[in-house]
Structure formats: structure tokens, C-alpha cells
Amino acid sequence: MKEINAKKIILMIADALIISALGGFLNLMFMWIDISRNVSVGNAFHIEWSTLTLVIALEVLFCFFALNVSGAYAFFWRLMGKGDYLRCVLGTTVGFGLSVSLMIFFGVFDNGFPLLLLLAQFALSLVAMIGFRVYAKKTVVKLTEVGRSENYERTLIIGAGRAAMMILTDIENAKKDPNNPSRNILPVGLVDDDRSKLGSKIMGVPVLGNSADIPQLCKQSSISLIVFAIPSCSEDDRQRILALCSQTQCKIKMVPYLSQLLFDDGNPQLLNQVKDIRIEDLLGREPITFDKEQTKDFVEGKVFMVTGGGGSIGSELVRQIAKYNPKQIVIVDIYENNAYDIQQELMLEYGDSVNVVTLIASVRDYEKMDRIFDKYRPEVVFHAAAHKHVPLMETSPEEAVKNNIYGTFNTATLAEKYLVEKFIMISTDKAVNPTNVMGATKRVCEMIVQYKAQHADKTDFITTRFGNVLGSNGSVIPLFRRQIENGKPVTVTHPDIIRYFMTIPEAVSLVLQAGAMAQGGEIFVLDMGEPVKITTLAENLIRMYGKVPYRDVEIKFTGLRPGEKLFEELLMNEEGLKSTENKKIFIGNQIAIDEVDLLEKLSRLRKFAENNDSDGVVEMLSEIVPTFNHKTNR
């Protein structure tokens, strides 16, 4: 509060000098006029100097009181705006009015009321007091620019608590190391919604305002970097503050959630853990948490097979399984580059401590997969291999059938043959009332898993269903990033299209948790919170690049693609929901499968697919999946 008190004293002195100087100057000027007019005392414009001293003293006293009550002394220079100038007008008017009223009541002006003098003094004092504030504001802001260099990143820190203090300490220590990139961070100020902190300082850096002031502060103080330093912030407040940050053109960095901070012997080096804001930070919900002990008990000491193990979901499955000491991980993928990447990543991370086998094979090839099952005898199979790009599968439906449906049928059949303990299939919300070939094939995959679950004795067959995964191959975020970085318009199919989103780690944690708690036949569904409007997602991502949507980066609406819905669903009409021990995971009720009918239709579908008959494939899919509406985009 010392800085606010110092500012208040400066303003009070300035106000007193302005009122006094103008009172004396105007009285002297009017005295010269009266002398030239040779008027009597009762008609004079000026007043006696002894009376003027009393008048000025009362004006200053009452103006101090009124300005203080109106809040005209309770702002910070950089934040001064129209409201503060209006408070100055109000305080000055009330102060002059009270002082003059009191002087009239006590008969100070018995020799004549100097109306012209008092009006001129009030008007000129008001103009001078506001002018001084405007000049002082510009001077203070200009002084903060002294020493500014292109090598320094002018930084605003959100939060004036312990995390901010630790960051400022790290910044100070970084200055001693010429090779530390953080030495170029220049903390200009902090913001905090605790009003008692306004005007205080942390390690010499002032608290400039509250979160609502972020856009204004960033503009006035030439901020280029915002550091969000409230690791324990509630999700609602986090989203509200990040929305304000996204209105600026600043880079935004985040201190991780409190539970994600790493502390090393009491020295957290918090600045090193500050990361670029991620698009998932703007989704509007907290990260989903899972029971790690249950997952550890499920994984430890077992042989795992992950089909599609090099893909976005499959590779994350492999990463998380590797953390819990499995006996062996068998990665199966047809795409050698992805398989090689995850293999090398695990070797670098774990060396020989994790037994990883990487195999290039297609789930379409029953004979090859049979040999793999026979040799490695997996105890748990995660089936993530699938064609999933909606537009591509619309033009090649027979390929979606061959890979998704018969790849699933092959692996599920082999899991049953080799007495795998659990077979977990990765599904999608696009399987619910599908409007595209990819979604229809995934619904057939779900039916196959449920069919297997109905008569399997030794193997638990499970389906996990969730929405879009941020950052996965084919998701909108990598596409949007490429478009922005290449200076191209961001393409969104429809202004009203919405989707459920989750992160890849969340999706994989759901799959592992489902595998741990499954007893066979379930369809596990994640409560993914509120759906997100894709247009909003695009706008936020553009702002994260420090650009303004529609001005710096165009958003072009291209129209719904073949088979694309405006919204996705997570449950079919026939399915209800049962809660589980994890409040974010639910189980859809099992739907009975007519095994004879399903197998007969799958046989016919296979013939269409093998003959590459696209029309026949789509027609047959519609017969197997009655809710498949291929002609209507919704």
C-alpha cells in the first residue's frame, strides 16, 4: 500500500497547489480589474487577502475530503480511465460546493459574494487537476518504458501469491546466468482479484489491477507475455481469466495445475515448468482424473498387445502401460514410421527396463495375427487399429469395412481363441446414430465385441466410447495450427458445428480404467462435459498466436463434409447409463445381439468389400446398422 499512499500524497499536494495558486492568481487579476474600474467594495470582483486565505483553506480541506470519499485518490496510474476522471469532477464539485455553502452560512462574504471569482477558480482548478492527472499518467507509463529493449519480454503475471513470488525469484536468479533464456523476461506488473493487494509490490513488481484490467494493462504497458501463475485456480475462474487473456495479442504461458507441479528437494524451479498455453486449457473443464493404483494393479506383470500401437491413441496407450511395469508390450502396426517412433521413444525413456516388441502387421491378415498371438500370448489386448478419417472413408467405404470391421473381427476371434483375459476396443461417438461410413463401421465393431461378449467364457470383451481427441492424427487442432503458421485461412465446415473433446492422455486413462474395472460386455462412456463450438476453438487458437480472428486470420466456412454431423452423440436411444466408482465414467446398458443374423450379414458384407463394391458396402452397412442415416447431415 506504500505506493498508493505516496501517489495519494503527491496528488493531494498537487491539488492543494492548483487550488491555492489559481485562487491567488485570479484574485490578483480581479483586483487589478477593480482598481481600473474604481469600484466600491460591495461591487468588487476580488476579496480581501485575509478572507482569501480562509476561502482557499476551506476549499482545499473540503476538496480533499470529497475527492477521497469519491475514490479519486484510489486508482493506479496505468489504470486511470474515464471513471477516475469523473470521480475527480464529482469530488471537486462537491468540495467547492460544501466549502462555499459553509462560508455563506457563516457570513464570510458579508462584503459581497465573489461569484465570478469562485466560478473561475472552480472551473480552472478542475481543468488543471484533470490535466495534471493525465500528464502524470503519461509520464509514469513513459518512465516504465525507459530501458525497454527488443531483447526483453515485457511480462504481466496473473496472480500475486506464492507462485508469482517463486517465478519472480526464478527470473531474478536467471539474470545471473547469461545463457539462461529467462534472463530476458522483464516483469512489468502483476494482477490479482484480491483488492487488498492493489498497489502493493512483490519483489519490487507492483500489483497493477485485477483480472478484469488485463486487456487494458497489456495495451497500456506494452505487454508481450502473460504468465498465468495461479496453479490452484478453480476451473471457472481459469476459463474466465483465460478468455480475458485471449482478447490481447500476448503470448500466454501457464503454471501447471497444483497436482502437476514437480518439486525437487523443496526447490520447484517453477519458471522451468511454465508451459505455453494449450488449446485444451480453454475447453472449460478440469482434466479427468483416474485411480492410478487400480490401473497399476491391472497392468503390472502382464503381457499387453496394442494394435495400431503407433497411432495417436495407441502410442499413448503404450506410454501409459509402460509406466506400470508390464511384463511385455507388443506393438502391432501396419505403418512402420509410427511404430518405429514409439519404439525409439520407449527405448530412450526406459532402456531395457521395459520389454517392448514392435511388429509390422495388418489386423486384416488373420494368419499373421494368429502367429503373433500364438507366439506372444497376450493377456490383455487393446484394439486401437482403425481407419478413422471420415471424408476418406466416404470415398473408400470398402477399405473401412476391411480394416475396421474385419480387423476387429480377426483380433477379437484370436483373443477368444488364445484365452486373452480382456479385449478392449476403442470406439467413437460417431458410432452412435452414424451418418458416415466410418461411424457405421465402428458401430458394427461394437456389435462384434458385444456378440463375442455374449458367448465368450474366458475373455472379457469391452468397448470404450469417447469423442474427439485433441492433437490426434486427423483432429482439427493440428490442421488449424498449420493453416495459421502458413498464413492461410482457418477452415471450419460450419459456423454452428460442435464437438465433445478430450485430451489424448484423458482418452487413454479412460481406456485403462475401463480395462481395470470391466467384467465383460460393457460399453464405457466418458462424461466429457459441455460440447465445444469448433468456431470458438478456432478463434481461441488464433488469439493464442497473438492474432485477431477475422482481421489477421480469416475463418472460412467450407460447408459440412459428406457424412458429417453438426453434433455428435455419446449414447444410442436404447442405451441407458449406469454410474461407476469413477464419477466421470459411465456404462451403457448392453444391447442384445442376434448372433445368427449378425454373422450372416457380415458374411454378405465381406463379399461386397472383397469385390470393392462401394454401393453394395454402404447398402449392407445400412442393413446391419438400422440407425445409419447416410444421406442426411445433422
Higher pLDDT, 41 or 219: 219
pLDDT average, residue stretch 109-132:
86
Give the span between the Cα atoms of 316 and 329, in whole angstroms. 13
- What phi and psi, each to the nearest 5 degrees, are found at residue 567? -145, 155
Tell me, what's the pLDDT at 571?
47
**C-alpha cell at position 219:** 495495451
Higher pLDDT, 473 or 470: 470
Of 100-104, 295-299, 345-349, minimum mean pLDDT range: 100-104
Q: Is the pLDDT of residue 86 over 90?
A: no
Query: Looking at 7, 197, 388, 430, which residue is catalytic?
Result: 430
Helix (H, G, I), strand (E, B) or coil at 574: coil
Host H or E run for residue 426? strand 422-426
Angle of the 406-417 helix axis to the 366-376 helix axis, nearest 10: 30
On whether the CB atoms of residues 567 and 634 are closer than 8 A, the answer is yes
Q: Is the pLDDT of residue 228 over 60?
A: yes
Residues, the chain:
634
Tell me, what's the pLDDT at 123?
93
On whether the CB atoms of residues 206 and 189 are closer than 8 A, the answer is yes
pLDDT average, residue stretch 257-266:
46
Give the span between the Cα atoms of 621 and 465, in whole angstroms. 20
Give the span between the Cα atoms of 466 and 226, in whole angstroms. 33
Tell me, what's the pLDDT at 622?
95
Mark whether 430 is an active-site residue: yes
pLDDT average, residue stretch 168-174:
83
Neighbour-count burial of 183, counting CB atoms closer than 10 A to its CB (0-12 exposed, 13-18 middle, 19+ buried): middle
Of 409-413, 432-436, 575-579, 607-611, minimum mean pLDDT range: 575-579
Give the span between the Cα atoms of 53 and 45, in whole angstroms. 16
Q: What band does 448 get if pLDDT is binned at 50, 70 and 90?
A: very high
* 596 phi-psi bin (left φ>0, alpha ψ -120 to 50, beta other): alpha
Within 8 A by CB and 6+ apart from 335, the residues are: 310, 311
Q: Is the pLDDT of residue 231 over 60?
A: yes
Q: Which of 23, 544, 48 is nearest to 278 (CA)?
A: 544
Q: DSSP label at 285?
A: S
Tell me, what's the pLDDT at 116?
87
The string of DSSP codes covering 32-77 is: HHHHHHT--GGG-SS--HHHHHHHHHHHHHHHHHHHHHHTTTSS-G
Helix (H, G, I), strand (E, B) or coil at 112: coil
Q: DSSP label at 181?
A: G
Of 61-70, 213-222, 227-236, minimum mean pLDDT range: 227-236
**C-alpha cell at position 388:** 478413422
Higher pLDDT, 441 or 166: 441
% of the chain residues with pLDDT over 90: 37
Q: Is the pTM of this model over 0.75?
A: no
Buried b (16+ CB within 10 A) or exposed e, 55-65: bbebbbebbbe
What is each CA distance from 584 to 234, 288, 526, in whole angstroms? 18, 7, 6
Using only C-alpha atoms, the chain has a radius of gyration, in whole angstroms, of: 36
pLDDT average, residue stretch 297-306:
96
pLDDT average, residue stretch 187-204:
88
% of the chain residues with pLDDT over 70: 81
Report the mean per-residue pLDDT for the chain. Answer: 83
Of 81-95, 129-143, 274-288, minimum mean pLDDT range: 274-288
Tell me, what's the pLDDT at 364?
97
**C-alpha cell at position 571:** 449414447
Neighbours of 320 (CB within 10 A): 19
pLDDT average, residue stretch 558-573:
60
Q: What band does 445 get if pLDDT is binned at 50, 70 and 90?
A: very high
pLDDT average, residue stretch 598-626:
96
Tell me, what's the pLDDT at 259?
45
**C-alpha cell at position 322:** 509402460
Tell me, what's the pLDDT at 147?
47
Of 200-214, 249-263, 320-334, minimum mean pLDDT range: 249-263
pLDDT average, residue stretch 220-233:
84
* Vertex 260: Cα angle to 258 and 265 (nearest 5): 90
Give the span between the Cα atoms of 313 and 505, in whole angstroms. 8
Q: Is the pLDDT of residue 285 over 60?
A: no
Q: Is the pLDDT of residue 1 over 90?
A: no
Of 423-427, 522-526, 629-633, minimum mean pLDDT range: 629-633
Tell me, what's the pLDDT at 584?
64
Of 69-78, 113-122, 236-245, minimum mean pLDDT range: 69-78
Higher pLDDT, 575 or 224: 224
Higher pLDDT, 307 or 476: 307
Helix (H, G, I), strand (E, B) or coil at 130: helix
Q: Which of 397, 498, 385 is nearest to 441 (CA)?
A: 397
Q: Is the pLDDT of residue 282 over 70?
A: no
Of 278-282, 432-436, 525-529, minimum mean pLDDT range: 278-282
Q: Mapped to the 3 state alphabet, what secondary structure does 220-273 carry?
A: HCCCCEEEECCCCCCHHHHHHHHHHHCCCCCEEEECCCHHHCCCECCECCHHHH
Of 35-44, 321-330, 478-487, 544-553, minimum mean pLDDT range: 35-44
Per-residue model confidence as pLDDT tens digits over 490-545: 998 888 787 766 777 777 887 888 888 888 888 887 666 566 778 877 887 787 77
Neighbours of 152 (CB within 10 A): 15
For the chain, helix, strand, coil in percent to 5 are 50, 15, 35
Tell me, what's the pLDDT at 333?
97
Within 8 A by CB and 6+ apart from 133, the residues are: 11, 80, 84, 85, 88
Of 469-473, 528-532, 610-614, minimum mean pLDDT range: 469-473
Q: DSSP label at 488?
A: P
Q: Which of 319, 323, 298, 318 is nearest to 306 (CA)?
A: 318
Give the span between the Cα atoms of 455 and 171, in whole angstroms. 63
Higher pLDDT, 138 or 584: 138
**C-alpha cell at position 210:** 485485477
Tell me, what's the pLDDT at 114?
83
What is each CA distance from 221 to 218, 245, 378, 385, in whole angstroms? 5, 14, 60, 52
